[in-house]
Amino acid sequence: MTTAAGTPSDRSVLPATERYTVLGWLRRNLFSDLLNSLLTIVALAFVFFIARLLLRWAFVNAEWGVIPANFNLIMRGQYPAVEAWRLWLIIYLLGAVVGVMWRLISGQFSGAARVLIAIPFVLMLIPFFSMGTRLNLLITAVASGVGYAIAGYLPIQRRGRAAAYLLLAYLLVMLILLRGVGAEEGPMPPVQPILWGGLLLSLLLAFFGITLSFPLGVLLALGRQSKLPAIRVISVVYIEFIRGVPLISLLFMGQVMLQLFLPDGFPLVDRVLRALVAITLFSAAYTAENVRGGLQSISRGQYEAAQALGLSTYQSTMHIILPQALRAVIPVLVGQFISLFKDTTLVALVGIFDLLGIARTIIANPDWLGTQPEVFAFIAVLFWIFSYSMSYASRRIEQRLGVGER
């Protein structure tokens, strides 16, 4: 670092008028001239008016009793109450896995980690939760702490790979716990997916929709650029067909037609699974187009440098092209995943009780007539929390990977 030579003078100090003060900021940004001042006042009045209406509704008129009364329904749909311990076990394990993975991938207990560990404690403050629920949340928090602590002692070399295996193992265990094994009278009787519902189902559909459609979409994007005409044509036809059809029609087709395409005697595919297939196939086409955008942003020189070094097409795709292409489209992909998460509500129209489906059954219940605003506001907040978390996480990942900087 070199600095301009010379003795310090007044010219090296930020002028007083440029300094950052509250009044200075207000004047510069809100009241810089007459028109600006007028606009500021009108806007403030408008905001105040709306906020007052909203707050009055939320704190005076709204009948929030509908939420605690139906809370279990909203969270897990018709998943049997006696089997709810399996869901809690899944959540404990999630806490532990998050703890371990945090240690493996990030290695430090920084801002975002504190936010994560705070989540169970914040949830414990919700007034209508029973002591049992609070205890369960506490166990989850302890599990993640223990996971984080233990992971520090594990002699693991390839941390990224270990984290990936752990996640896979967790998903498998989670599905087994959810679905159950053994006889009806056994310790873990099967629970048909059609009984899974509420937030549980919305999250499952979104998570598996995203994780299954992503690799398929990447393959389709690569296929669309393939030198082999057959692969290219299949990819293009698939992508353009799916993108030309609304998701809701795919969902109906999945419910009605999927069974027709399968060979005779093939066991009946569960309705939830059929919806998941439709969501995945739909999302893959959009992922493919987004990833293609990233692939096109890679300069020819990158391909040539990889070729000149003797890398095979597969090696250069995996090590050079895809890492850069995917990094370039993280914001677009996350945007698409958020919209996929919200689009899962369409399954309510084919008789599956996700968050929206459950909301509709609650407001149809004679006991809770006229509570549409409360119920819909509540599930809107739930959707917002998860969507915003995804958006926040994506921004963190972008920062870490330095998108647009290198």
Partner 1 sequence: MSENATAEEIIICQDVCKWFGDFQALKDCSLRVKAREVVVIIGPSGSGKSTFIRCINRLEEHQAGDIIVDGIPLTRDVRNIEQIRSEAGMVFQQFNLFPHLTVLENITLAPIQVRKMKKEEAQETAMGLLNRVGIPEQADKYPGQLSGGQQQRVAIARSLAMSPKIMLFDEPTSALDPEMIKEVLDVMQELAESGMTMLVVTHEMGFAREVADRIVFMDGGEIMEVGTPEHFFTNAQHERTKLFLSQIL
Our CB check for partner 1 shows the closer of 189 and 331 to be 331
Our CB check for partner 1 shows the closer of 152 and 323 to be 323
- Least distance to partner 1 from the beta carbon of 286, Å? 24
Our CB check for partner 1 shows the closer of 301 and 370 to be 301
- Least distance to partner 1 from the beta carbon of 398, Å? 13
Contact flag: residue 8 with partner 1 (CB under 8 A): no
Instruction: Figure out which of the listed residues 301, 367, 381, 385 binds partner 1, where binding follows CB under 8 A.
Output: 301
- Residue count, binding to partner 1 (CB under 8 A): 21
Whether 347 and 247 have beta carbons less than 8 Å apart is answered as no
- Tokens of residue 178, six digits: 């959810």
Contact flag: residue 305 with partner 1 (CB under 8 A): yes
Q: Whole-angstrom Cα distance, residue 14 to residue 281?
A: 58
Stretch that binds partner 1, among 53-61, 84-92, 127-135, 323-331 (CB under 8 A): 323-331
Question: Interface residues for partner 1 in 242-281 (CB under 8 A)?
Answer: none
- Least distance to partner 1 from the beta carbon of 319, Å? 6
Our CB check for partner 1 shows the closer of 8 and 404 to be 404
Our CB check for partner 1 shows the closer of 299 and 365 to be 299
Instruction: Figure out which of the listed residues 161, 243, 319, 396 binds partner 1, where binding follows CB under 8 A.
Output: 319
Instruction: Figure out which of the listed residues 152, 246, 323, 351 binds partner 1, where binding follows CB under 8 A.
Output: 323
Q: Is 185 helix (H, G, I), strand (E, B) or coil?
A: coil
Contact flag: residue 320 with partner 1 (CB under 8 A): yes
- Least distance to partner 1 from the beta carbon of 316, Å? 9
- Tokens of residue 218, six digits: 């990447």
Write the DSSP symbol of residue 367: G
Q: CA angle 315-320-324, nearest 5°?
A: 145
Instruction: Figure out which of the listed residues 111, 229, 310, 366 binds partner 1, where binding follows CB under 8 A.
Output: 310
Contact flag: residue 309 with partner 1 (CB under 8 A): yes
The tally of CA atoms less than 13 A away on the side-chain side of residue 111 is: 3
Please report the sign of the dihedral spanned by the C-alpha atoms of residue 70, residue 72, residue 76, residue 79.
Answer: negative
Q: Which whole-number Å values give the CA distances from 170 to 92, 164, 346, in the listed order? A: 11, 10, 28
> How many beta carbons lie within 10 A of that of residue 363, not counting itself?
18
Residue type, 133: T
Closest CA to 75 of 58, 65, 64, 88: 88
Contact flag: residue 405 with partner 1 (CB under 8 A): yes
Q: Which residue has the tokens 């942003």?
A: 297
Our CB check for partner 1 shows the closer of 12 and 299 to be 299
The distance in angstroms from the start CA to the end CA of the chain is 21
- Least distance to partner 1 from the beta carbon of 400, Å? 13
Contact flag: residue 389 with partner 1 (CB under 8 A): no
Q: Which residue has the tokens 């205890």?
A: 135
Contact flag: residue 160 with partner 1 (CB under 8 A): no
Contacts of 275 by beta carbon, 8 Å cutoff, 6+ apart: 205, 251, 254, 255, 347, 350, 352
- Least distance to partner 1 from the beta carbon of 311, Å? 6
Stretch that binds partner 1, among 69-77, 140-148, 238-246, 313-321 (CB under 8 A): 313-321
Q: Which x/- pattern, by CB under 8 A, does the window 280-299 give for partner 1? A: -------------------x
Contact flag: residue 157 with partner 1 (CB under 8 A): no
Contact flag: residue 339 with partner 1 (CB under 8 A): no
> How many beta carbons lie within 10 A of that of residue 140, not counting itself?
24
In terms of C-beta distances under 8 Å and separation of at least 24 residues, what long-range contacts does 294-301 make, across chains too? Answer: 294/324, 294/325, 294/326, 294/327, 294/328, 294/329, 295/221, 295/222, 295/225, 295/321, 295/325, 297/324, 297/325, 297/328, 298/324, 298/325
- Residues in contact with partner 1 by the rule CB under 8 A: 299, 301-302, 304-312, 315, 319-320, 323-324, 327, 402, 405-406
